Amino acid sequence: MKSKNENRKTDFLSSSSFLLPPFYFLLFFFIWGCSIPEAPLESARFDLQISIRDSSEFTLLENGSSLVNGATVYLSGQQFQLTLQKSTNENGTVEFNELLPDIYTITAQKRIPADIAEAITGAPVERVLSGQFEPLQLTCNEQVPELWLSLVSLSDLLISEIYYSGAAPNPPYYFHDQFLEIYNNSADTIYLDSLIVADVDFGYAADSVIHAIHAYMIPGNGSDVPLPPGECLIIAQDAIDHSAINPNSINLTGADFEYYVSTSGDVNNPNVPDMIQLQHKYGVDFLYSVMNDALCILKVKDPYNLGYDNHNCLLLPKSAILDAVEYRENLNDTNKRLDNTLDAGKTGGIPMYKGKSVSRKIERIENGQIILMDNNNSSIDFEILEKPTPKVPGPGESKE
């Protein structure tokens, strides 16, 4: 597990002089007119006001009202690619002006420093209020309901990159090079012994438990797998040099752990430790969906304490989850596997087998250490990388 802060490179038709017969002119006009999308009339523009509220009692106890002032609101349009960002005023409202009719995603968040949180809750732990509207068709006649935010604690241990989409051909449909990257966002060493990685089944977002299709655990006795501050750990589907099989893929021989299913003919690198299999419902390996999935990391004393559901999924408590990320190929799909307390948004938007990954953004550099963005909302926290970067936190260059 090599530190990446030391090696990371800094990023941050003209008119004609002859006449055409009328028929040709009309034909040209018809083709030209059909090839360019028609822009909306200026008269279609409208203003939008949104009120932001806190669904917990935190803001009410702090300010005497549930309306959230100083929240950052993000507005993103689908068709015209409009992206805006504003903060709510003292009354917890924000106004966006001269918008065009479109399908919009509206996201909001507010960071609460540890000292302010301590005055309200008694615990000096940084919190975040976060929430999101699923894509809404907005016109001048639409009324937007109030957006309610959820209060969540932030984790020192984060999922920093997920490469799930699979490599571009050839060969086709190559997904064995998937990996998960976990990053220590704190100033202290964290021991990853017994950390569980699980994927979450669809249809149970409102439950107090997750329904895990697969669940694998990092081996260790409590102090065997230290992760120093600012460093990350890679869990590979198969810890081999995939570029030897597919030149568009990556080399994962430097992974820290790999999934291994001994009964399926799975590839195994004897030089890389295997994750401990707790739950494996199906598949020749722990395959992340190349289209949509939700991954989480958690720790529990007894992973089998809650048993199984009727579909042979392992039940694990939501309260034990340290971080969770949901991704979808179609970001306009309103279905969610995770509720807002785990991930208020979703990342992705990557077509299958394009060799791209999703990576957590860098928020700041603090005492030489990269601090990754964590708003408990993947719509805000993550971005797409054209090429996966194992062992590089945030957007950066791979050190393969």
pLDDT digits (tens, 9 = 90+) for 91-104: 999 999 989 999 89
Sign of CA dihedral 277, 279, 282, 287: negative
Residue 97's CB: how many other CB atoms inside 10 A? Answer: 11
What percent of the chain lies above the pLDDT cut of 90?
Answer: 68
Q: Which residue has the higher pLDDT, 400 or 224?
A: 224
pLDDT digit string, tens, across residues 120-171: 878 887 889 999 987 888 987 667 889 999 988 789 999 999 999 999 999 9
- Cα–Cα distance measured from residue 227 to residue 190, given in angstroms and rounded to the nearest whole number: 5
Question: 5 near 397, Cβ under 8 Å?
Answer: no
Task: Report how far residue 231's alpha carbon sits from residue 297's, in angstroms, rounded to the nearest whole number.
Answer: 17
What predicted TM-score, i.e. pTM, was given to this entire model?
Answer: 0.80
Q: Is 319 helix (H, G, I), strand (E, B) or coil?
A: helix
Closest CA to 363 of 178, 193, 158, 164: 158
Fold annotation for 44-153: Immunoglobulin-like (2.60.40)
Tell how strand 276-280 and strand 190-191 pair up: unpaired
Residue in 259, 279, 292, 300 with CA at minimum distance from that of residue 213: 279
In whole angstroms, give the CA distance from residue 76 to residue 108. 12
Query: Cα–Cα distances in Å, from 366 out to 252, 288, 336?
Result: 29, 33, 34
Asked if 162 and 156 count as a contact pair (C-beta separation under 8 A), the reply is: no
Neighbours of 221 (CB within 10 A): 9
Instruction: Share the mean pLDDT of the chain.
Output: 87
Mean pLDDT across 353-364:
96
Element (H, E) at 298: strand 292-298
Residue ranges, comma separated, of all CATH 2.60.40.10 domains in the chain are 44-153
For 6, the token pair is 């030391």
CA-closest candidate to residue 160, choices 369, 365, 368, 388? 388
253 secondary structure, DSSP code: T
